[in-house]
Amino acid sequence: MILYYAVGGGMGHLARASAVLNTLQIPKEAVKVLTASPFASLYFQDLPVLPLPAHLNNDPEFYEIWLKQQCKKYEFTEIWVDSFPCGILGELGCLLDLPLKWTYLARILHWENYCGLIKFTPPFQRVIQLEMLETSHQDFLKSLECPIEHISLEYPVYQDNTKKIFSQNDWLVVHSEPQTEVEELLAYAQDQANLENIKPRFCLISPIKKIDLDIDFEHFNLYPSHPYFNQAGRIFTACGFNSMTQTLPFREKHHFLPFLRRFDNQFLRATLHKKDKYF
């Protein structure tokens, strides 16, 4: 039984988990995805989720006790750690005494922001690298002295995602949160349309409906959104891992803006994609 450790409050860790399990053809009954994200029950009903109780978010001592209890309850034999090798706060040291096989799923980090949380090195036996990393992060992978695999993710598509909804006159603005960033992306799309002197239909795909901008747009609460990318004339996203991966087949019509994150270096990812460097 695999514990897929995807602790984080956003949608990105869950989308990546869904893609990893789909790509590697992991049976749902063989894995539990640990998450604190509120999006799990809204958009990932097919994912075998182990929800993190909200009351443990600010109680690291009891969280570690709870986590070890779950490992025993579900008889986990493996742990797959998404993004943060020691946990998002360095909390995974509590599992070092358990008989687990460790796998690290590596994507871009602000390594200088994260490395101070590394007080121990988990005994990783396998690394799955999902994109090109900065040098210091790559050096960390090499120091683990275990096999490093490179895989390209295949995101799942469901039958009801094949409907024709959009046209080439539609410009998709795709972002989950926060509202201020959704507004920035909408404004970016409008500026691009004004620059080209054209009038597309702006289609916002987001859980967020309320926008404090004087822009005419239509709202769509669709997930997953990537099956519709081929229908639209343009796609506007931030530079998170999933957005940049899902839009690779549509580079000629993809516009992107990096946003500041504590641990995710979207600016590095944007630079690498402009240079067509992925691994």
**Each residue's pLDDT tens digit, 216-261:** 999 998 888 999 999 999 999 999 999 999 999 999 999 999 999 9
For residue 179, the one-letter residue type is Q
Task: State whether 70 and 132 are in the same domain.
Answer: yes
Task: State whether 245 and 139 are in the same domain.
Answer: no
Show the domain range for 180: 163-274
**In which element (H, E) is residue 104 found?**
strand 101-106
Say how far apart CA 81 and CA 125 lie, in whole Å: 12
Task: State whether 136 and 172 are in the same domain.
Answer: no
Indicate whether 160 pLDDT > 70: no
Indicate whether 144 pLDDT > 70: yes
Task: State whether 46 and 145 are in the same domain.
Answer: yes
Indicate whether 20 pLDDT > 80: yes
Angle at 25 between CA 231 and CA 277, to 5 degrees: 55
Which CATH number do you get for residue 116?
3.40.50.11190
Task: State whether 71 and 145 are in the same domain.
Answer: yes
Decide if 55 is inside a domain.
yes
Task: State whether 145 and 171 are in the same domain.
Answer: no
How far apart, in Å, are the Cα atoms of 166 and each of 43, 187, 204, 253, 262? 21, 20, 12, 15, 35
pLDDT confidence of residue 43: 82
Task: State whether 139 and 11 are in the same domain.
Answer: yes
Decide if 279 is inside a domain.
no
pLDDT confidence of residue 161: 63
Nearest to 124 by CA among 82, 89, 161: 82
Which CATH number do you get for residue 183?
3.40.50.2000
Number of domains in the chain: 2
The bridge status of strand 217-220 relative to strand 254-256 is unpaired
Q: Are 31 and 21 spatial neighbours (Cβ–Cβ below 8 Å)?
A: yes
Task: State whether 79 and 167 are in the same domain.
Answer: no
How far apart, in Å, are the Cα atoms of 42 and each of 49, 66, 135, 160, 218? 12, 24, 37, 16, 21
pLDDT confidence of residue 186: 97
Mean pLDDT computed over 132-140: 97
Decide if 157 is inside a domain.
no
pLDDT confidence of residue 59: 84
The per-residue pLDDT for range 59-106, each reduced to its tens digit, is: 888 999 999 999 999 999 999 999 999 999 889 999 999 999 999 999
The per-residue pLDDT for range 176-215, each reduced to its tens digit, is: 999 999 999 999 999 999 999 999 999 999 999 989 999 9
Task: State whether 13 and 141 are in the same domain.
Answer: yes
Task: State whether 87 and 38 are in the same domain.
Answer: yes
**In sequence order, what are the residues at sequence separation of 6 or more whose Cβ sits closer than 8 angstroms to the Cβ of residue 194?**
none
Mean pLDDT computed over 3-24: 92
What's the mean pLDDT when you consider all of the chain?
94
Mean pLDDT computed over 130-156: 96
Give the global pTM: 0.93
